[in-house]
């Protein structure tokens, strides 16, 4: 019998394109779309259906919760590269546990729950990236709790300002932080607006910050966080009652 294998056309082979997490998180596509949010507008609200995850591409935002008594507290700040609303992955028909508010104009990628679950299951590169984000957020939350329990109010304020300015970057000796009210800062560190106002004025007098509408933070503010004493302990001036 004649060999006819050479008469059968070869079947084309299709190489699977390598998954690029950066491209996925930068563009709209199946199950995801780009959204723009103006300052002070909600990205999502507490009590809304938790049906998607958001990835912050540009801008800054804060996450707040409101108690049954109506008291609002800021629990987290968001910067580019952060995810928000990941609780939607834990339940199919749950509700948002918090509100995300834009501090500056924000550009976000809204990823539907089903698409987010799919890419986590199918793409190892993305699942590793998302896991690292969740671990980093968990460590940050633990550090925030320790800060709240053991540090004085001015150290907590200094830490929040440094985190907002992202002064961990070695090539940025100083940075402007997004516009944020003293009331919001007071909520974040668990004190009063008058205390925040007092410490902000003291930080400015000591050259740790500058502000005329926008706050510019200098790395010297780390002195407040790293010093074993505080302003309350007469480290930088007369003793002040808390």
Q: Is 139 part of any domain?
A: no
64 neighbors 99 (Cβ within 8 angstroms): yes
Round the average pLDDT of the chain to a whole number and report it: 82
Sign, CA dihedral 231-235-240-242, equals positive
Of 69, 96, 128, which residue sits at a domain end?
128
169: Cβ contacts below 8 Å, ≥ 6 apart: none
Residues 95, 190, single domain; the answer is no
| Average pLDDT value for residue range 175-180 | 77
Residues 43, 115, single domain; the answer is yes
Domain CATH for 43: 2.60.120.10
Q: Which of 136-140, 156-160, 222-226, 227-231 has the lowest mean pLDDT?
A: 227-231
196: Cβ contacts below 8 Å, ≥ 6 apart: 157, 182, 185, 186, 189
Of 128, 162, 194, which residue sits at a domain end?
128
Q: Is 137 part of any domain?
A: no
Residues 71, 167, single domain; the answer is no
Query: How confident is the model at residue 10, as a pLDDT?
Result: 58
Helix axes 193-205, 153-165, angle to 10 degrees: 70
Query: How confident is the model at residue 172, as a pLDDT?
Result: 53
Residues 164, 110, single domain; the answer is no
C-alpha–C-alpha distance, residues 83 and 54, integer Å: 6
Residue-number span of the structural domain to which 197 is assigned: 148-233
Q: Is 133 part of any domain?
A: no
Instruction: Write the CA distances from 132 to 18, 22, 84, 88, integer angstroms.
Output: 20, 15, 14, 18
C-alpha–C-alpha distance, residues 72 and 186, integer Å: 11
Query: How confident is the model at residue 168, as a pLDDT?
Result: 39
Residues 28, 99, single domain; the answer is yes
Query: How confident is the model at residue 124, as a pLDDT?
Result: 95
Per-residue pLDDT at 65 exceeds 80:
yes
Q: Is 14 part of any domain?
A: no
Residues 117, 183, single domain; the answer is no
SS3 205: helix
Residues 115, 160, single domain; the answer is no
Domain CATH for 220: 1.10.10.10
Q: Is 160 part of any domain?
A: yes
- Token duo for residue 89: 């992955």
Query: Other C-beta atoms within 10 Å of 54: how many?
Result: 23
SS3 100: strand
Q: Is 15 part of any domain?
A: no
Residues 112, 184, single domain; the answer is no
Q: Is 187 part of any domain?
A: yes
Pairing, β 32-37 against β 42-44: unpaired
**66-110 tens-digit pLDDT:** 888 888 778 888 889 999 999 899 877 789 999 999 988 999 999
Query: How confident is the model at residue 184, as a pLDDT?
Result: 81
Higher pLDDT, 178 or 41: 41
Q: How many CA atoms lie within 13 A of 167 on its CB side?
A: 22
Higher pLDDT, 148 or 135: 135
Residues 153, 88, single domain; the answer is no
Q: Is 8 part of any domain?
A: no
Structurally, the chain folds into a number of domains equal to 2
Please report, rounded to a whole number, the percentage of residues in the chain having pLDDT higher than 90: 40
Residues 27, 93, single domain; the answer is yes
Residues 38, 124, single domain; the answer is yes
Token pair 């004190």: residue: 191
Residues 124, 152, single domain; the answer is no
């Amino acid at each position: 019998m004649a060999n006819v294998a050479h008469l059968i056309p070869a079947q084309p082979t299709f190489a699977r394109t390598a998954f690029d997490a950066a491209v996925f998180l930068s563009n709209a596509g199946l199950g995801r779309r780009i959204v723009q949010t103006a300052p002070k507008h909600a990205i999502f609200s507490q009590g809304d259906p938790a049906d998607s995850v958001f990835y912050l591409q540009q801008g800054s935002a804060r996450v707040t919760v409101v108690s049954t008594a109506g008291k609002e507290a800021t629990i987290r700040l968001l910067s580019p590269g952060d995810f928000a609303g990941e609780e939607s992955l834990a339940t199919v028909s749950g509700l948002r546990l918090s509100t995300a508010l834009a501090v500056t104009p924000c550009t976000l990628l809204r990823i539907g729950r089903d698409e987010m679950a799919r890419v986590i299951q199918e793409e190892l590169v993305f699942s590793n990236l998302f896991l690292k984000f969740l671990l980093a957020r968990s460590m940050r939350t633990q550090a925030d709790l320790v800060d709240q329990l053991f540090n004085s109010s001015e150290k907590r304020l200094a830490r929040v300002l440094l985190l907002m300015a992202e002064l961990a970057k070695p090539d940025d000796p100083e940075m402007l932080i997004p516009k944020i009210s003293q009331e919001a800062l007071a909520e974040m560190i668990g004190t009063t607006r008058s205390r925040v106002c007092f410490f902000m004025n003291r930080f400015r007098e000591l050259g740790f910050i500058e502000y005329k509408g926008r706050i510019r933070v200098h790395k010297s503010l780390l002195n407040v966080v790293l010093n074993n004493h505080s302003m309350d302990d007469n480290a930088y001036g007369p003793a002040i009652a808390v």
